[in-house]
C-alpha cells in the first residue's frame, strides 16, 4: 500500500519530534531536519548529509520536499533583477530584486495570478490559479537573497509583498511565511523591515490589528474618492474609502506599526490639484507615515498614461505645501517589465541554464 506523503515543511518542530519518536529514532533528529529545511534551505532529503542513508530513504518514502526553482531571469540596466519561479505543480510566479544605494529589497508574490482585476495592473488581467503556500513564499525570499549575495555580495535588507496577488486574500500563508522569515531558525529578518501591501480588504486589515502583527502595512489607494476608485479598483465597491480609513486607524491603534499610502499618478484621471486635495484629506484622517507617489508604468491591456513631469511636480509641490510627507517613487526595472504593476509572466524572459 502506498504511503500518503506529507510536505515535511508543513510540520512544526514538535510534530517532527513526534514522528521520529514513532519510528524509534532519536528526538534530536527533528532539529537536524528542521535546520536543513529552514536554515540550510535543502531542496532534497539526499542533501541532508548528516543523516544516515537509511533515514533519508525513509524520509523520502513518508514526505515530500517541494520547492520553488528559478525558471528564468532578466537583468535591468538599472540593476533590478526579475525572476520567474516555477512551482512543483508547474505554475509560474514572479519576484523582483530592487537594489538601491542603501537597500536591497525583495518584492515577492503571494498568489499565482490575482482575482481583484485592478484596471492598471498587468497581474489583474490574469486569472488567479491558486494561493502560494507559506513555504513557497519563503522560497521566493531565499532565492532572491541568494541572488543578492551572488550579484551584489550583500544580503536582503527589506521585503515588500507587492508582487502578484493580494496578500490579505492569502492571509494565513502570508503570516506564516513572515513568521518563518523573521524567526531565528528561519531567515532571522526583523518584521520592521517587511511591508505587506494591500489593495484594501478592510476586514482583514482589522484582523492584522487583532493579530498584533509586527510588520508594516501599505495601502494601494491610487484614487482619493470612491467614484474614481470604483472605476479602477473593483474591490472598492465592498471596501470603500471610509471603511478603509476606519480599518487603518484600528490597525494602528492595535499595533502602532508604520502605515504607507501608495498612490499611482494617471494622466488626466487622478493627477489634478483637486485630486491632491482629496488625497490630503485622507492623509489627515489616517496615521500614515508616508505617501508614496508612484510613477505609472504603462501596460498593453490598459488605457492609462503617465502624466508629464510638470504635472507630477505640481502635484508633489501641492502635497509639500500642505505638510504631507510624500515621496516620489521612481520606477525600477521598467525595461524588463519588473516595475510596479507590470508582473505578468511574459514569455521574453531568459531561461536559467543551471
Instruction: Look at the chain and count its residues.
Output: 354
Among residues 35, 309, 340, 352, the one annotated as catalytic is 340
d(CA 288, CA 284): 8
Say if strands 350-351 and 69-75 run parallel, antiparallel, or are unpaired. antiparallel
Give yes or no for residue 49 having a pLDDT over 50.
yes
CATH 1.10.150.530 domain extents, the chain: 7-64
Helical H runs in 39-71? 53-62
pTM of the model: 0.90
> Quick check: 114 and 166 in contact, CB under 8 A?
yes
Q: How confident is the model at residue 11 (pLDDT cuts 50, 70, 90)?
A: very high
* Distance between CA atoms of residues 34 and 58, nearest Å: 16
Angle at 290 between CA 101 and CA 335, to 5 degrees: 45
- Please give the pLDDT value at position 69: 94
Could you identify the residue written with the cell 493580494? 166
C-alpha cell at 144: 532572491
Fold (topology level) of 69-351 = TIM Barrel (3.20.20)
**Residue 340 a catalytic site member:** yes
At 192-205, the pLDDT tens digits run: 999 999 999 999 99
Task: Provide the 3-class DSSP secondary structure of residue 100.
Answer: coil
Burial of residue 27 (CB within 10 Å: 0-12, 13-18, 19+) is: exposed
The reply to whether 94 belongs to the active site is yes
Instruction: For 7-64, give the CATH class.
Output: mainly alpha
Lowest mean pLDDT among 42-56, 123-137, 269-283: 123-137
Work out whether the CA dihedral 302, 307, 309, 314 comes out positive or negative.
negative
Query: Which one is catalytic: 94, 136, 140, 262?
Result: 94
β-strands 81-86, 69-75 pairing:
antiparallel
For residue 42, pLDDT over 50 is answered with yes
The alpha carbon dihedral of 103, 107, 108, 110 has a sign of positive
**Residue ranges, CATH 3.20.20.70, the chain:** 69-351
pLDDT band at 335 (very low <50, low <70, confident <90, very high): low
Tell me the pLDDT band of 333, cut-offs 50, 70 and 90.
low
Amino acid at each position: 500500500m502506498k504511503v500518503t506523503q506529507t510536505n515535511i515543511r508543513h510540520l512544526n518542530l514538535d510534530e517532527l519530534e513526534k514522528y521520529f519518536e514513532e519510528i524509534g529514532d532519536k528526538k534530536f533528529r527533528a532539529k537536524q531536519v528542521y535546520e536543513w529545511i529552514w536554515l540550510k534551505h535543502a531542496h532534497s532529503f539526499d542533501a541532508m548529509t548528516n543523516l544516515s542513508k537509511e533515514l533519508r530513504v525513509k524520509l523520502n518514502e513518508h514526505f515530500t520536499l517541494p520547492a520553488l526553482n528559478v525558471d528564468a531571469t532578466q537583468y535591468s540596466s538599472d540593476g533590478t533583477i526579475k525572476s520567474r519561479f516555477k512551482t512543483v505543480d508547474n505554475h509560474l510566479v514572479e519576484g523582483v530584486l530592487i537594489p538601491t544605494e542603501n537597500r536591497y529589497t525583495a518584492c515577492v508574490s503571494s498568489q499565482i495570478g490575482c482575482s481583484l482585476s485592478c484596471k492598471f495592473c498587468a497581474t489583474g488581467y490574469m486569472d488567479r490559479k491558486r494561493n502560494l503556500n507559506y513555504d513557497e513564499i519563503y522560497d521566493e525570499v531565499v532565492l532572491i537573497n541568494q541572488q543578492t549575495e551572488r550579484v551584489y555580495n550583500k544580503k536582503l535588507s527589506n521585503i515588500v509583498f507587492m508582487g502578484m496577488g493580494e496578500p490579505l486574500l492569502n492571509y494565513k500563508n502570508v503570516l506564516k511565511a513572515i513568521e518563518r522569515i523573521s524567526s531565528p531558525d528561519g531567515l532571522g529578518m526583523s518584521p520592521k523591515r517587511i511591508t505587506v501591501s494591500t489593495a484594501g480588504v478592510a476586514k482583514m486589515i482589522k484582523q492584522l490589528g487583532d493579530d498584533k502583527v509586527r510588520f508594516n502595512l501599505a495601502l494601494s489607494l491610487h484614487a482619493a474618492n470612491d467614484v474614481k476608485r470604483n472605476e479602477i479598483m473593483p474591490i472598492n465597491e465592498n471596501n470603500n474609502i471610509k471603511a478603509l480609513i476606519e480599518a487603518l486607524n484600528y490597525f494602528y491603534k492595535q499595533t502602532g506599526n508604520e502605515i504607507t499610502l501608495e498612490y499611482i499618478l494617471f494622466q488626466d484621471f487622478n493627477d489634478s490639484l483637486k485630486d491632491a486635495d482629496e488625497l490630503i484629506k485622507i492623509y489627515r484622517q489616517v496615521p500614515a507615515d508616508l505617501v508614496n507617489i508612484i510613477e505609472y508604468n504603462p501596460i498593453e491591456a490598459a488605457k492609462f498614461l503617465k502624466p508629464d513631469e510638470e504635472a507630477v511636480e505640481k502635484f508633489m509641490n501641492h502635497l509639500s505645501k500642505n505638510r504631507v510627507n510624500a515621496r516620489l517613487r521612481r520606477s525600477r526595472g521598467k525595461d524588463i517589465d519588473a516595475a510596479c504593476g507590470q508582473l505578468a509572466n511574459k514569455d521574453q524572459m531568459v531561461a536559467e541554464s543551471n
